[in-house]
Chains A and B, each alone.
Chain A
Amino acid sequence: MTPSKKVFPSNSTMAGETSWVSHYCDDSTKEAKECNSFLEIGDEDDNGAVAFLLDLNMILPDELLERILAYLPIASIFRAGSVCKRWHEIVTSERFFWHLSHVLPHKPWYFMFTSSNEPVGYAFDPILRKWYSMKLPCIETSNWSIASSCGLVCFMDKDSGSELRVCNPITRCSRKLEEPPVLKFSDYSALAISVNRESHSYNIAIIRSKQVPENFSQWDISILIYNSERVTWVTTLTEVLNGWRGGEESVICNGVLYFLVYSTGGVLPENRHALIAYDISNRSTHGTLMRSFIPVPCSLTCGRLMNLKEKLVMVGGIGKQDHPDIIKGIGIWVLNDRKWDEIARMPHRFFQGFGELDDVFASSGTDDLIYIQSYGAPALLIFDINHKQWKWSQKCPVTKRFPLQLFTGFCFEPRLEIAP
């Protein structure tokens, strides 16, 4: 509702406009076939009767037009902005952005890289069911770690782990962050970002794993946190893990940093993977990580972590009984109170639809949608966690050009009103 225009007839401009329309309506009911349908003054219809047709757009005040346009999917908002100058002013106004931030989150898009050299590809829009050809801003190659939250995408270069950028891929507004402290090069790095929807401030976490030189079953783990308000990196934890290392899979959910760890050397545990939960706000000292191990629900070939409405969800490749390295299916679990609840299992026909599915695959999700993609093909599968529905996306307009071409991607919420 429009809070400013309270409500008694003579004071409201809106009232003035309404009564103007109804005045015309009264006149035209005698002549026009439909009330409120008007022709340009002077035009005559077939019967020679004159009716009045006005720009219906003029009937609505800005506030109501804002409300209407805020319901549009992002691509339509840009198109609406080129309809006329008035509409353009509306969709680029601060107030419109305020409306946008109060509309329910847009269903996430999935960006698929189609080149291993350049950050180009196609973005899938599940609402309009279209693929848009796009180039990602602020990175030059596609060899970057990527994390996303609430409309912002964070990139970290994989080679040195020292360059970080945060951007809004829709508005292309980007920011280069201060370099994190690099004490030694790590063997593995995982990246996660969490944006606060109200304040638009964000936390970025990097988990680095480096093998201890003389003892290959020991790994040096360090966790670095960046806060956009304090504009600074803090190394909040360094610890040595025995028999486990971090990888590249992490996500922040409800203020907790989750990351997958992989068993290394020594006696193999029941499962090769485990999850660690690290509370960002309650940073404690040495020895924390070992205490926050959460086992995975079954033997996995790989796991992908994501934040769906502040719940930790994992999409995992399920390994065969006697050959745990070989994938036989894909399952989806949600973490409740440090325990996994299985939400869904990919039906066989979709699993087969990927063709030869490698034991590893790409998967990411947010809000209500989970995207799953095989690295070997541009086919994209979508799981709606609300309706428990599996669906292939529209066919991606890119075809595999050579046998070893790889595809990967990530998902992000398309938002106009957030900037890094």
Chain B
Amino acid sequence: MASSSKTITVVSSDGDEFEMTMKAAEQSKLITHMLDEFGVSDKVPLYNVNSETMAKVMEYCKKHADHEAAKEEDGGAAIGAGGEEELKKWDDEFLKVENGLLFNIILAANYLEIKSLLDSSCQAVADMIKGKTPEQIREIFNIKNDFTPEEEAKLRSENEWAFQED
């Protein structure tokens, strides 16, 4: 396991404090930069992330930090290809949350600059959209259709094949 016992504290917009190891913190480029600039002793304010989202992000960073540490330790032997797949499965389960939280995770991952989380969470939303009709997509995200029927018909006819049903 990681030998570093150094931890830092981050503060959410709700005022809750969360502790994370240095290794976990390094998953976020933003936090890393802030620590470089301001030092580790102070609490890092992350007023753009609420507690619910912060808790999820913490969980992600810890999991990925532990995974990296395990890779380094055995020279990659313990992890192997199976390990990477397992991590991916964990990520998939991790992102099975309701839409509002998922969107907040995307925003947080973007703000905190956690690339892998941003990529996976964006892919998760894409997977919700994939294969759906425009009506179904609007329903999932509660989007108002601001096209006139004529405009919509024109769009469909331009690429008719894409709208063919199964």
Contacts and interface: CB of A to CB of B under 8 A. Distances in A.
Contacts of A76: 129-132, 162
A133 B14 contact: no
A9 interface: yes
Given A35-B100, A56-B99, A68-B122, A79 B111 contact: no
Interface stretch (B42-50, B58-66, B82-90): B42-50
Interface string A184-221: 00000000000000000000000000000000000000
B96 interface: no
A4 B36 CA distance: 21
Interface string B14-39: 10000000000000011001000000
A60 B29 CA distance: 21
Contacts of B100: 34-38, 56
B2 interface: no
Contact of B162 (A38, A64, A67, A75): A75
A18 B138 contact: no
A134 B48 CA distance: 48
B107 A68 contact: no
Nearest to A22: B50
Interface string B140-158: 0111111100001001100
A392 interface: no
Given A18-B104, A22-B14, A35-B101, A55 B130 contact: no
B152 A26 contact: no
A162 B122 CA distance: 47
B interface SS class: helix
A36 B137 CA distance: 19
A133 B164 contact: yes
B48 A22 contact: yes
A-side interface size class: 35 or more
Interface residues of B, number: 54
A328 interface: no
Contacts of A350: none
A59 B132 contact: no
A83 B14 contact: no
B155 A82 contact: yes
B103 A123 contact: no
Contact of A1 (B108, B113, B125, B130): B113
A41 interface: no
Given A12-B111, A37-B98, A84-B144, A67 B122 contact: yes
A69 B126 contact: yes
A2 B144 CA distance: 27
Given A14-B107, A64-B122, A123 B155 contact: no
Contacts of B144: 55, 84
B101 A36 contact: yes
A14 B110 contact: yes
A82 B129 contact: no
A14 B118 CA distance: 14
A64 B156 contact: no
Contacts of B50: 21-22, 25-26
B131 A15 contact: no
A336 interface: no
A170 to B, nearest CB: 8
Contacts of B164: 130, 132-133
Interface of B: 13-14, 29-30, 33, 47-50, 52-53, 98-101, 103-104, 106-108, 110-111, 113, 115, 118, 122-123, 125-127, 129-134, 137-138, 141-147, 152, 155-156, 159, 161-164, 166
21 contacts: A1-B29, A1-B113, A7-B33, A7-B113, A15-B48, A18-B48, A21-B107, A22-B14, A22-B50, A25-B52, A35-B52, A35-B100, A36-B103, A38-B100, A54-B142, A56-B142, A59-B103, A72-B126, A72-B130, A84-B138, A134-B161
Task: Give the top 5 A-B pairs by smallest Cβ distance, nearest first.
Answer: A36-B100, A71-B126, A22-B50, A78-B162, A132-B161
